[in-house]
Amino acid sequence: MAERAVRVKVLGIETSCDETSAAVVENGDCIISNVIASQIDIHSKYGGVVPEVASRRHVELILPVVQEALDQAGLTFADIGCIGAINRPGLIGALIVGAAAAKTIAYGADIPLVALHHLEAHIYANFLTNAHIEFPLICLVVSGGHSDIVYMTGHGQYQILARTRDDAAGEAFDKCARALGLGYPGGPVIDKLAGSGDPNAVDFPRAKVGDTLDFSFSGLKTAVIRYAQNTGTQTRIEDIAASFQQAVVDVLTDHTFRAVEQTGVRQVLMAGGVAANSSLQAAIKSRGSELGISVNAPPPVLCTDNAAMAASAAYYACRRGENAGLDMDCFASEPLGSAQR
């Protein structure tokens, strides 16, 4: 692939869950277009994502979404220097739709293809808004399926220092919201309600997993659900939401800065849908400024699933020569740092 002096336009494709997204990003940090077709309205009536419905909707949307991303950028495939497709982990039927589209375009237009891990792409959302990120760093990656603390010594270098032993942070938000009758997805609605609630109203548990940095959110989820069942309407829903959110924020912030202390890094990144949480961003930024640690968090639209993050990650992966073949497969569950293409 071309050297840094040449501006390389990368087409990113993301279909791992319930967003069909395509984007064009130049040199890993300049978003030219980022089209996100959300399926939330379809899945919310079921209280969560229905995999088969998601796959079918991706099939309907993928080509118009890719075309829209090119049209908004005023480009054709001839202008694209690399295609980055998320091929792992995620809903397998959903991943296959994006991967098939990416392979077809790569073959038809003779463009190098890169296979991306979904969490790698989330991390690279940070590079879309900040050109001054320095390694080594710690990234807190919190989404509907993962709660990881990742140590990076350079581009493409990932070491997982912590993961969840049960529910992911976003899963806890979604399941609590569902139990409280707040709909799907739970994160944004709890974030909003918590803004007018008392975070100290209910003392929900902050779980520890021995001396490790690992997370456990299923006990907290059960405590919130039991509390709501037992107290009925005696406690304001805003106070329950704020107290639950505070418990999640406390644990995520505490573990992130323990990882900072253990590794001695001076840079923290935030990534994944839960990183859009206003209280979490405020807590991590405030602890960072107390300790003189630089903290970067993408804006909410780049925290949740989108293809610009994939295009950014693909730019760096392509520069490392990590090209995938047309036999690129998809994987429902793969740890970050795996070499699956």
Binding residues for ligand KG4, rule: CB under 6 A, are: 17, 143-145, 170, 173-174, 185-188, 191, 272-274, 276-277, 304-305
Q: Position 307: which residue type?
A: A
Query: Residue 144 or residue 288: which is nearer to ligand KG4 going by CB?
Result: 144
Q: Which of 44, 57, 62 is nearest to 101 (CA)?
A: 62
Query: Residue 143 or residue 253: which is nearer to Zn ion going by CB?
Result: 143
Between CA 332 and CA 73 the distance in angstroms is 31
Query: Residue 174 or residue 214: which is nearer to ligand KG4 going by CB?
Result: 174
CB of 301 to Zn ion, least distance (A): 13
SS3 23: strand
CB of 271 to Zn ion, least distance (A): 9
Query: Residue 17 or residue 106: which is nearer to ligand KG4 going by CB?
Result: 17
CB of 204 to ligand KG4, least distance (A): 15
CB of 191 to ligand KG4, least distance (A): 4
Site residues for Zn ion per CB under 5 A: 143, 305
Q: Which does 140 bind (CB under 5 to 8 A by kind): Zn ion, ligand KG4, none?
A: none
Between CA 136 and CA 289 the distance in angstroms is 18
Between CA 308 and CA 190 the distance in angstroms is 26
* Burial of residue 52 (number of CB atoms within 10 Å: 0-12, 13-18, 19+): exposed
Q: Which does 81 bind (CB under 5 to 8 A by kind): Zn ion, ligand KG4, none?
A: none
CB of 178 to ligand KG4, least distance (A): 10
27 sits in the region (left: phi over 0; alpha: psi -120 to 50; else beta) called: left
CB 176, CB 242: distance < 8 Å:
no
Query: Residue 173 or residue 315: which is nearer to ligand KG4 going by CB?
Result: 173
Q: Which residues contact 139 (CB under 8 A, 6 or more apart)?
A: 123, 126, 149, 150, 152, 268, 269, 270, 271
CB 309, CB 121: distance < 8 Å:
yes
CB of 303 to Zn ion, least distance (A): 9
